[in-house]
Amino acid sequence: MDFATTPLAAMAGSAGLQTYVVIMLALVAVMTIMDVIHKKSAKYFFEDSKKAEAKVKAGIAAGSKNCSVGFEDGRYREVSGGEKMGAAVGVVLNEVAVSGEFDSTKPLRRFVHILTMYGTILLSAATIIIAFSGTGETVSLAWNLGALMLFVGSWWFWFVYKVDVMSEGNSWTDIDLRRDMFSLSLMAVSTTALGWSIWGGAVWEILAMLAGISLFGGVYWSKFAHMFFKPFAAYDKRIKKLSGALDNLPHETRFDKSGAVVAQQRDRHSMELLKDAPMNMGLGIKREGPNHY
């Protein structure tokens, strides 16, 4: 396999390839919009953020007044414009760039996800560049590398980290088209791209095109559309954390942010038994992964 060239080279800048790329992009856009309209998800986000804002206002006004056990003072606060910007940047740097939303106890799962995501991005971006501004060594390298990363990530995921395999105990041979359309499409795109790149030929070409159609054309039915609201969800989560809305989660802990014991909690009757307890108990049942069967 030659990383310096791609099977697309012959079509670089051609109208055919450009049309294909445009159609794929349009499919994603249209289907995502259809999904948003159909599900009224934008409306949901809007209403939800209004609700959270109202809760923060009320919370600030009430302080601990409505709270008869424990404390609420200082839980809620206004989030400044600067902080909102910061949150947005944080989302891009953390959740978007390095899949920071993944549970930190399973770093490999997160790695596989990053591999898949960057593979997809590299492969798609390189394709667009080749279609519109012609090919070259760098862009070809990116294309091949993207395909390879996606290949490794998507197949690894399929055999090991797919939750149906990991926690549901299904065999990896268990395929449900609706459930697995997205994962299978990713595997198909990367496999056919690599196959095409290595062996060339019309058969691989057609397969690669079809794989692309199933990935982008299936947006409405697969969970691809869902990808687009992940950053919004991550942003929403950050803002709620800053404002203290916190999805109604409890905020009281044994330690403050610096790791020091909170006297108010230590002296609480229920916490008597932890007065002189170690600071870190380690992990209990969370030591083990979610595959008990």
Partner 1 sequence: MGIKTIVEDNIDILVAGAGLGGTGTAYEARHWGRDKKIVIAEKANINRSGAVAQGLYAINCYMGTRWGENNPEDHVRYARIDLMGMVREDLLFDMARHVDSAVHKFEEWGLPLMRNEKTGAYQREGRWQIMIHGESYKPIVAEAATKNADKTYNRVMITHLLMDESGRNRVGGAIGFNVRTGNCHVFKSKTVVVGAGGASNIYKPRSVGEGAGRVWYAPWSSGSAYALMINAGAKMTQMENRIVLARFKDGYGPVGAYFLHLKTYTQNAYGEEYESKHFPALQKMVGKEYLDMEASHRTHRPIPTCLRNHAIIQEVAAGRGPIHMVTMHAFQDPHLEEVGWENFLGMTVGQAVLWAATDLDPKYQNPELTTSEPYVMGSHATGCGAWCSGPADVSPPEYQWGYNRMMSIEGLFGAGDAVGGTPHAFSSGSFTEGRISGKSACQYIDDGKAEGIVVSDSQIEKRKAEIFKPLETYQVGRNEIVAGTVSPSYLLPHPGLQRLQKIMDEYCGGVTVNYMTNDKLLNIGLQKLKIMEEDLEKVGAEDTHQLMRAWELKHRHRTSECVMQHTLFRKETRWPGYYYRGDAMKLDDKNWHCLTVSRRDPETGEYTLEKAPLYHLVGDMEDKALADMKKSEKKPAKKAAKAK
Partner 2 sequence: MPTFVYMTRCDGCGYCVDICPSDIMHIDKKYRRAYNIEPSMCWECYSCVKACPHHAIDARGYADFAPLGHSVRTIRDEEAGTIAWRVTFRDGRVKNFLSPITTVPWGTGIPDFRNEPEPTEAERNSQLLSFEPKYIRMDDGDIATLKSQNLEMKEGVYY
- Residues near partner 1 (CB under 8 A) are 68-69, 168-171, 269-270, 272-274, 281, 284-285, 292-293
134 binds, among partner 2, partner 1, none (CB under 5 to 8 A by kind): none
Q: Which residue has the tokens 């006297």?
A: 263
Total residues at the site for partner 2 (CB under 8 A)? 62
* Measured distance CA(254)–CA(6) in Å, rounded: 57
**Contacts (Cβ under 8 Å, ≥6 apart) of 188:** 207, 210, 211, 214, 215
280 binds, among partner 1, partner 2, none (CB under 5 to 8 A by kind): partner 2
* Measured distance CA(227)–CA(116) in Å, rounded: 13
C-alpha dihedral (95, 98, 100, 106), degrees to nearest 10 = 150
Q: How far is the CB of 269 from partner 1 (least distance, A)?
A: 5
Q: Which residues ranging from 133 to 172 are in contact with partner 2 (CB under 8 A)?
A: 163-164, 166-168
* Measured distance CA(248)–CA(67) in Å, rounded: 13
Phi, psi of 261 (to 5 degrees): -70, 135
256 binds, among partner 2, partner 1, none (CB under 5 to 8 A by kind): none
103 binds partner 2 (CB under 8 A): yes
Q: Which residues ranging from 260 to 289 are in contact with partner 2 (CB under 8 A)?
A: 265, 268, 270-271, 273-274, 277-278, 280-287
171 binds, among partner 2, partner 1, none (CB under 5 to 8 A by kind): partner 1
Q: How far is the CB of 62 from partner 1 (least distance, A)?
A: 16
**Contacts (Cβ under 8 Å, ≥6 apart) of 198:** 1
80 binds partner 2 (CB under 8 A): no
Nearer to partner 1, 202 or 285 (CB): 285
**Contacts (Cβ under 8 Å, ≥6 apart) of 172:** 158, 159, 162, 165
Nearer to partner 1, 13 or 289 (CB): 289
Q: How far is the CB of 272 from partner 1 (least distance, A)?
A: 7
For residue 97, the Cα-to-chain-centroid distance in whole angstroms is 9
Q: How far is the CB of 156 from partner 2 (least distance, A)?
A: 16
Residue 195's identity, in one-letter code, is G
**Contacts (Cβ under 8 Å, ≥6 apart) of 160:** 112, 166
15 binds partner 2 (CB under 8 A): no
**Contacts (Cβ under 8 Å, ≥6 apart) of 240:** 52, 246, 247
Interacting residue ranges for partner 2, rule: CB under 8 A = 58, 62, 66-72, 101-103, 105-106, 109, 163-164, 166-168, 176, 178-179, 182, 221-223, 226, 229, 232-233, 236-237, 247-255, 265, 268, 270-271, 273-274, 277-278, 280-287, 290-293
